[in-house]
Amino acid sequence: MQTMKKKRIPSLYAVLMLLLVCMTVGCSNQEAEGEQNGPSAGEQSNTLVIGAYSVAKDAVGELLPKFKEEWKAQTGQTVNFQESYEASGTQARAIVGGFEADVALLAMESDIDKLVKADLVTSDWKQAPNDGMITRSIVVLGTRDGNPLGIRDFEDLTKPGVKVLYPNPKTSGGAQWDINAIYGAGLKLSEANGQKDPAAAKAFLEKVHKNVESLDKSGRSSMAAFEYGVGDVIVTYENELLARIAQGVKYDIVVPKNTILIENPAVVVDKYADKHGNRELAEAFVDYLRTPEAQRIFAKHGFRSVDPEVFAETESTFPTPEGLFDINYLGGWDEVRSTLYSKRGVWYQVLAGL
């Protein structure tokens, strides 16, 4: 006699979290309908739950049907998807709080660390190729068509009357990259004048922040506000602007002399993937994100490829700034969290006017 599986009933918190995500950013049809015509996600090994940061939505949307086709050819299974897109920090907190994503695509390493601390992801996740990263970008400036204010670098954002946009680093991983870039540019300027001076970098960040028009919850929300007509300059991912320009929106991209290299990770959320019986599927999907086919799709959407050959193919699209630096220039993520984003850190001092 066949043993019947006990039906998994999701916790009330997880259901509420999923509904909140759906109302806020929208879900796939499968997610919104709750798989009414089949077993729950926990019992269905060919349904993959994806929690991603908002900026990756368009690229992931193109990648999913291609992976679905490949998985069908390899296994004979039809894989379905439940998708959620949110600001990276918000998405990480949702997964920690009970949103059972099998795979997480987030904006930065420190958001994956939240999943590690919650015992959802193993601490060796960076042993994957490219230290677990699947895409790269840089922080750039977007201006109105023709760059009417003559913006050339971060220093121009401190000028009187220049209205600046970037999202809120409390909720947005993209915003933390933006703040890191501005603070790091301040360090670079001080270094050129004699020594690397954190006080000078803080003062530089303060001058820029005084001109900030609004703090949106995510990079995608900030871009939407800019497209609506808010602000003169947006501090954002290079890929966001390239993708919009490719769709016919008229913006100018200004690449600062000193800016930061962005690296975006993807991981299997071990606890949930194992719980759902999705380990093989989840690992295959994350592996697929690193294939040349997937990397070319990411490049099409404005991301810098982590695959050396694909990056070489697309390098002319992606200029390398003279003073490009990475997170290690700021001491690594542990130092950045302590220096900039702790309760008494530089960012919160700037926000409070201290």
pLDDT digits (tens, 9 = 90+) for 284-328: 999 999 999 999 999 999 999 999 999 999 999 898 999 999 999
* Local structure of 312: helix, strand or coil: helix
pLDDT at position 306, please? Answer: 97
More confident residue, 141 or 353: 141
297 vs 287: CA distance, rounded Å: 15
259 vs 326: CA distance, rounded Å: 8
- 310: its two tokens: 């694909």
Q: Tell me the whole-structure pTM to 2 decimals.
A: 0.83
For residue range 82-118, what is the model confidence (pLDDT) as tens digits?
Answer: 999 998 889 999 999 999 999 999 999 999 999 999 9
Backbone angles phi, psi at 155, to 5 degrees: -60, -30
Confidence of residue 121 (pLDDT cuts 50, 70, 90): very high
Half-sphere CA count of 63, side-chain side, radius 13 A: 26
249 vs 254: CA distance, rounded Å: 16
Query: Does the pLDDT value for residue 10 go beyond 60?
Result: no
Query: Does the pLDDT value for residue 47 go beyond 70?
Result: yes
pLDDT at position 175, please? Answer: 87
Amino acid at 141: L
Q: Give the H/E segment covering residue 103.
A: strand 103-105
169 vs 237: CA distance, rounded Å: 14
CB 244 within 8 A of CB 55: no
Q: Tell me what the mean pLDDT of segment 159-186 comes to.
A: 92
Amino acid at 213: E
pLDDT at position 28, please? Answer: 45
Query: Does the pLDDT value for residue 15 go beyond 90?
Result: no
Query: Does the pLDDT value for residue 8 go beyond 70?
Result: no
Query: Does the pLDDT value for residue 26 go beyond 50?
Result: no
